[in-house]
Chain A
Amino acid sequence: MSGDVFVIAEHRDGAIIDTTYELLGRAKALAGASGGEAVAVLLGSAVAGLAGSLGAAARVIVVDGPGLASFSPSAYQAALVPLVRERQPALVLVANSGSGMDVAAGLSAALDLPLAAYAIDLTVDANGPLVTCQLYAGKILAKVRFTGGRGIVTVVAGSFPADAGAAGGSPPVETVVPAATDDRIRFVDLLRPEAGDVDITRETVLVSVGRGIGEQENLELVEALAAVLGGAVSSSRPIADAGWLPRTRQVGKSGLKVKPKVYLALGISGAPEHLEGMRNAELIIAINSDARAPIFSVAHFGAVADLLDVVPALTARLGG
């Protein structure tokens, strides 16, 4: 049993994913209080080179094996379970991503280690780790502790700053061979969405629409506003699901993360999955007809109004 804080690193296309840096930064800050070190755990095949990106960690454990060449829930679980059981860290931090959900819950059941999900904050005090979890579509926050003082935490993307963990360097690397394999889930291919006309992650102004837009034909109004502002139209998940805009315009947990100068959130309620994608924009202005919409908790300015009234007025006012 150690006071180490493990961070399960995620990587794709030869690069570490941002959320890993967020977790590393936090782990580094907490490791001292928990009486151990921040340890990055990197799984893959011939990935030792990536260890250099994990400089914020005190140590890196590289689990290297051909079966881990691509992410596979079964292979990762087979490799991690014996490792964590052997090393007994105080905390295991996993990003609440598509792959992270599999890994974390699988570990929890296999090791009989408690799991706190949807964490937006994590501290360690005299009584041990304290996790702040977000439940009920962001409407409730729960502060929880682990009964045994140790546990697994899945962390919502964007909860911690990535800069704190994005340090280069050469932490000591320990390479291990996976103690077990499980190839019942075989990676076949990575499918990327078709390249869209617009890369919303590079836009300075985004005019984003959600369900409040009502009907597809109303998108014209929004396009007009975006044009007059010199920006692009993006959306929340329901609009992309409906096919009104390509997936490449989707902002959020399963879409893209954006950090524009200006983010106009029109008719977007502000579910946590969406906020994950845009909460770090410099200026957020939200328009929603529901005064209780969670978007107003991250917006800098807000108006409770019908976007179909405001948008044409704003376009006209700006000379469009």
Chain B
Amino acid sequence: MDYVVLLKQVPDLAEELEIDAAGTGLDREWMSFVASEWDEYALEEALLLRDARGGTVTCLALGVAAGDVDELLATCLTRGADRVVKVGTFEHAPDSHTAAAAFAGALAHIHYDLVLTGVQAIDDLDGQVGPLVATNLGLPHVSVVTHIAVAGHGSIVTVHQEYAGGVVGEFEVQLPAVLGVQTSRETPRYAPVSRVRQLMKTATIEAMVGGEGGGSGLVVEAMTIPETGSTAEMINGSPQVIAERIAAILAERGIGSGVAR
């Protein structure tokens, strides 16, 4: 079975995010980038499926200048991907619709049975890439997937879609299809820095032209940082002092005065 994983980098939330001068985007000066967490789960699932049943794993990422796509793809290779491809050229990460069009264009030239990508990303203003790519290619798609099993002959996968309250829907999906992965069954395997560095020097990262089109159709009027901590009344002091105050607050509402199970 041939698996394709779509990945991207997103801004690292360890950095404090700042709004740019125009007030409609993020200030990029101090931005650093990390792989999108859900895309890593998607890759891990693809690798586990391939390790179990054989096949190939190809990783696609957009050729975005900001950030370090080469490192992202080298990390994929280190983790065990068979082939990595950089799709298109972009100065900054494009919106999801543009990304989906680019990926769909590249996928027309790659053989695949199953496309996996993270169910979402933190910067998906205009929706998630998985269903967008699938619809562009006319493929069935399932999001929020927590379990993937390939049925015997490899033309159907059984997946679990997660809903609220721990309820899960089980589906049989005909391949080829696109899955938006919520979590992988194992923690994504570690990619040792030495190997990533080495692969960045020696590995072949193919480049492909992406599909055209897309565009989010959205105009950002304003971007703001919501005020945090403004509603909460903060309690200061030692743990004992804090405990006192909380006990008092609870007592006011009739909680905790000698009520035990």
Of the candidates B166, B240, B246, which one forms a contact with A285 in the assembled complex, judged by CB atoms under 8 Å apart? B246
**Given contacts A135-B122, A297-B226, A310 and B231 within 8 Å (CB-CB):** no
Q: Are B229 and A297 in contact (CB under 8 A)?
A: yes
In the complex, per-residue mask of A279-310: 1 if CB is within 8 Å of any chain B CB, else 0: 00001011100011110111111111110011
Q: Are B255 and A261 in contact (CB under 8 A)?
A: yes
How close is B169's CB to chain A, nearest CB, in angstroms? 6
Q: Are B224 and A140 in contact (CB under 8 A)?
A: yes
- B126-170: which residues lie under 8 A (CB-CB) from chain A? 126-128, 130-132, 134-136, 140-144, 158, 160-170
**Chain B, residue nearest A139 (CB):** B17
**Given contacts A190-B169, A247-B166, A101 and B128 within 8 Å (CB-CB):** yes
**Chain A, residue nearest B172 (CB):** A186
A222 interfacial contact with B, CB 8 Å: no
How close is A281's CB to chain B, nearest CB, in angstroms? 12
Cα separation A192 to B162 with both chains bound (whole Å): 10
In the complex, per-residue mask of A84-115: 1 if CB is within 8 Å of any chain B CB, else 0: 00000000000001110110111011101111
Chain A interface SS verdict (over half): mixed
B177 interfacial contact with A, CB 8 Å: yes
A to B contact number (C-beta, < 8 Å):
294
How close is A294's CB to chain B, nearest CB, in angstroms? 6
Interface size on A, residues (CB 8 A): 100
Pick the interface stretch among A1-9, A38-46, A252-260.
A252-260
Cβ of A292: which chain B residues have Cβ within 8 Å of it? 228-229
Of the candidates A114, A191, A253, which one forms a contact with B218 in the assembled complex, judged by CB atoms under 8 Å apart? A114
Cβ of A97: which chain B residues have Cβ within 8 Å of it? 163-164
Cβ of B247: which chain A residues have Cβ within 8 Å of it? 314, 317-318
- Provide 21 A-B residue pairs closer than 8 Å at the C-beta atoms, listed in order of the A residue: A71-B169, A73-B142, A97-B163, A101-B131, A116-B218, A133-B125, A140-B225, A145-B218, A146-B218, A147-B219, A190-B167, A230-B259, A247-B166, A254-B144, A291-B229, A296-B231, A300-B232, A301-B249, A302-B229, A305-B239, A313-B239
A137 interfacial contact with B, CB 8 Å: yes
